[in-house]
């Protein structure tokens, strides 16, 4: 990770007069430091510790960055028995003791992205303290409205702003296929771009302004790393061509990492995720499918399942063509998936608690035997 891009600019921009210039963002602000985090510090912490941001998570260390630059932080310095949500992930802010550089605590997050870990019964953290998400898809076979709705549920649950970016506009003869398909998402900002072209991606720069942390989310091969390279005007990340037959990518990016942009924003590049299982996203789902929620309010029965009940306004909207069948199917599918995953996580937590109690009981029994000289 290059330190040089985290600008330590003078307080006033070059050439500007002292009276009209806005103070340039500090190094910490360029890393996404905001009043929300500042307010969490006690006076003692302000003097004795230094906030650093987690830029990448590796097997045995974190890459962190702060006012003193980049440094590795061995994971062995963190408490061992942290629950999943308490473990630092990319984007988290930690306080390090100024002298010893030991981690003191993690700051409360402004947002958190997580998914059900593929093939496991646990959730997996993706990133924290993200302001906006660029949901990336391409003008080709990758485009899938149901997947976009899945991403949206996650992004809205986290309370982040969302923008849909469709790459490969340069290879597409008729973009109306995509704009027509998105008619139910009229309030979702949309950018159609050639990710290889700096002018074409210029509208995305507003999203990545100084101090903003922006995550790129999308399948492998849609051009996430290409966008990072073009927006940062350098070859920060490796990219590779997609398969000709099905437009699928080759999982080129292997690690999630935050990259500082020359203008002071931060971009999170991630590996393309094959699965993005949803759990605990009730609000995000309601916001993504608010039209169905509004229709359901007028159903005759408050527990209407919108199947064959009389007076069902959801089915009526389906029959009149006002509501798309695919959208209703996807809403049902995501709700079922979330309910199933919520149950799995609740059982997992109960199991963890029972195991914790068991271990504590064994430890205290062993201690008391030792004290008795057994």
Per the annotation, where are the binding residues for Zn(2+)?
299, 304, 306, 312
Closer by beta carbon to ligand GTP, 236 or else 306: 236
Q: Which does 304 bind (CB under 5 to 8 A by kind): ligand GTP, Mg ion, Zn ion, none?
A: Zn ion
Interface residue with ligand GTP, options 221, 260, 265, 284 (CB under 6 A): 221
Residue 265 interacts with ligand GTP (CB under 6 A): yes or no: no
Q: Which does 196 bind (CB under 5 to 8 A by kind): ligand GTP, Mg ion, Zn ion, none?
A: ligand GTP
Residue 225 interacts with ligand GTP (CB under 6 A): yes or no: yes
Closest listed residue to residue 277, CA positions, set 126, 70, 104: 126
Closest listed residue to residue 254, CA positions, set 235, 273, 233, 230: 273
CB under 5 A: which stretch of 172-180, 181-189, 253-261, 348-356 binds Mg ion? 253-261
Residue 253 interacts with Mg ion (CB under 5 A): yes or no: yes
Supply angle C-alpha 151, 154, 156, rounded to 5. 105
Residue 42 interacts with ligand GTP (CB under 6 A): yes or no: no
Residue 225 interacts with Mg ion (CB under 5 A): yes or no: yes
Distance CA(179)–CA(156), nearest Å, equals 21
Closest listed residue to residue 13, CA positions, set 3, 21, 5: 21
Per the annotation, binding residues for GTP are 218-226
**CB within 8 Å of 150: residues ≥ 6 apart:** 276, 278, 330, 334
Per the annotation, binding residues are 218-226, 299, 304, 306, 312
Interface residue with Zn ion, options 312, 317, 323, 328 (CB under 5 A): 312
Alpha helices in the chain (DSSP H): 27-30, 35-38, 43-48, 145-157, 176-181, 224-232, 282-288, 290-296, 313-320, 325-371
Residue 251 interacts with ligand GTP (CB under 6 A): yes or no: yes
**Where do contacts with ligand GTP occur on this chain (CB under 6 A)?**
167-168, 170-171, 194-196, 218, 220-226, 239-242, 249-253, 271-272
């Amino acid at each position: 990770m290059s330190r040089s891009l985290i600008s330590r600019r003078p307080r006033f921009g070059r050439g500007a007069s002292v009276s009209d210039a806005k103070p340039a963002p500090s190094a910490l602000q360029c890393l996404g430091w905001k009043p929300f985090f500042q307010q969490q510090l006690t006076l003692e912490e302000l003097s004795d510790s230094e906030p650093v941001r987690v830029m990448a998570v590796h097997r045995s260390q974190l890459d962190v960055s702060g006012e003193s630059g980049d440094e590795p932080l061995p994971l062995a310095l963190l408490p061992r028995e942290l629950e999943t949500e308490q473990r630092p992930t990319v984007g988290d802010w930690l306080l390090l003791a100024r002298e010893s550089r030991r981690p003191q605590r993690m700051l409360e997050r402004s947002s958190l992205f997580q998914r059900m870990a593929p093939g496991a019964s646990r959730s997996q953290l993706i990133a924290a303290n993200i302001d906006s998400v660029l949901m990336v898809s391409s003008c080709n076979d990758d485009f899938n409205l149901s997947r976009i709705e899945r991403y949206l549920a996650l992004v809205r649950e986290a309370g982040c702003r969302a923008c849909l970016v469709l790459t490969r506009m340069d290879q597409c003869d008729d973009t109306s296929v995509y704009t027509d398909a998105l008619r139910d998402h009229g309030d979702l900002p949309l950018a159609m771009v050639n990710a290889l072209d700096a002018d074409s991606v210029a509208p995305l720069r507003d999203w990545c302004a100084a101090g903003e942390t922006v995550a790129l989310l999308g399948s492998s091969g849609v051009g996430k790393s290409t966008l990072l390279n073009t927006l940062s005007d350098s070859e920060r990340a490796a990219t590779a061509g997609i398969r000709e037959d099905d437009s699928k990518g080759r999982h080129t990016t292997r690690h999630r990492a935050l990259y500082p942009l020359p203008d002071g924003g931060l971009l999170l590049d991630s590996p393309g995720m094959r699965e993005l299982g949803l759990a605990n996203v009730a609000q995000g789902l309601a916001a993504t499918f608010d039209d169905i929620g509004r229709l359901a309010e007028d159903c005759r029965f408050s527990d209407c399942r919108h199947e064959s009940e009389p007076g069902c306004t959801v089915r009526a909207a389906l029959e009149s063509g006002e509501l798309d069948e695919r959208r209703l199917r996807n809403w049902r599918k995501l709700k079922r998936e979330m309910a199933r995953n919520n149950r799995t996580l609740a059982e997992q937590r109960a199991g963890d608690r029972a195991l914790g109690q068991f271990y504590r009981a064994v430890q205290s029994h062993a201690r008391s035997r030792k004290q008795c000289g057994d």
